Copies of this chain bind each other. A is one copy, B any other.
Amino acid sequence: MIHNYTIDKQINHRSIRKFKDQHLLPEQLKTLYTVFSHTATSMFMQNASLLHITDEVKKKKIQELCNQKYVGAEGDLLIFVVDLYRNQQIRKQLGKDDGRVHTTDIFFQAMEDTLLAFQNVANAVESMDLGFVALGTVNDHPKKMLKTLALPKLTFPVLGMQVGVPDQEPQLKPRLPQKFTCFEDSYPQDFDVHDLKEYDQVVTTYYDLRDSNRRIDSFTKQITGAKLDEHETDRDELSELLHGQGLCLDWQ
């Protein structure tokens, strides 16, 4: 195992859900923007945008939709946006048709741009001894979120990030051993759930020791549990929403 400043931060990553009551310094925010813009981008199309939410009314609405009290609270709230609007406007204003802007292919490339930019910013955050939590909950109620953010067609808020000065020191969450996730040459199709017995025990111990939230859950219990069980959720609006935004129109 090789160690350096970057890698040591990466392997000590933990989600921070409690921040000190202070905002990012302008210089910190500027630095995150710079890192954002230097992320690798598919075909040099630069299909990602970033929203920094400071308006209190807007933050409150987003918090309600995400249903997590730390969203929009202490620290700063960023929303990472898949953005094909800008390039469509370039084409339109220069007299071209929309071309492939509405295809699933181009949407996926924009998802790549945006999610790579998210993690690039995340690593910059942790390199400055700040912390963050990824907010997948920005899509718990996709239609309402889109309205709250007042985003134009051809955009999609894929992931949020609450970022700030950590005010907690959570335990490192144990991940699947690499033999279950990293493979040489071919994907092994002989997965046997019994091989997870030891890892299940490690995860159970982790929850057992955790101060807050006394949930005691093995990994396989979570995968076989409510999260992945059939249930109704607004998150199933996603495909309809994307079509409404003019994205993935070729999807059959």
Contact = CB atoms under 8 A, between A and B. Distances in A.
Oligomeric state, in copies: 2
B227 A193 contact: no
Contact of A127 (B6, B104, B136, B235): B6
Interface string A200-243: 00000000000000000001101110011111010110111001
A83 B166 CA distance: 31
Contacts of A85: 187, 189, 191
A170 to B, nearest CB: 13
A66 B27 CA distance: 41
Given A44-B222, A223-B90, A228-B91, A39 B13 contact: yes
A31 B1 contact: yes
Contact of A120 (B123, B155, B250): B123
A65 interface: no
A112 B109 contact: no
Contact of A239 (B6, B9, B111, B251): B251
B33 A7 contact: no
A134 B136 CA distance: 24
Interface residues of A, number: 121
Contact of A227 (B43, B116, B120, B233): B43
B159 A228 contact: no
Interface in A99-135: 99-101, 103-106, 108-109, 111-112, 115-120, 122-124, 127-128, 134
Nearest to A29: B182
A97 interface: yes
A198 to B, nearest CB: 15
A7 B124 contact: yes
A219 B43 CA distance: 11
A127 B248 CA distance: 36
A178 B37 contact: yes
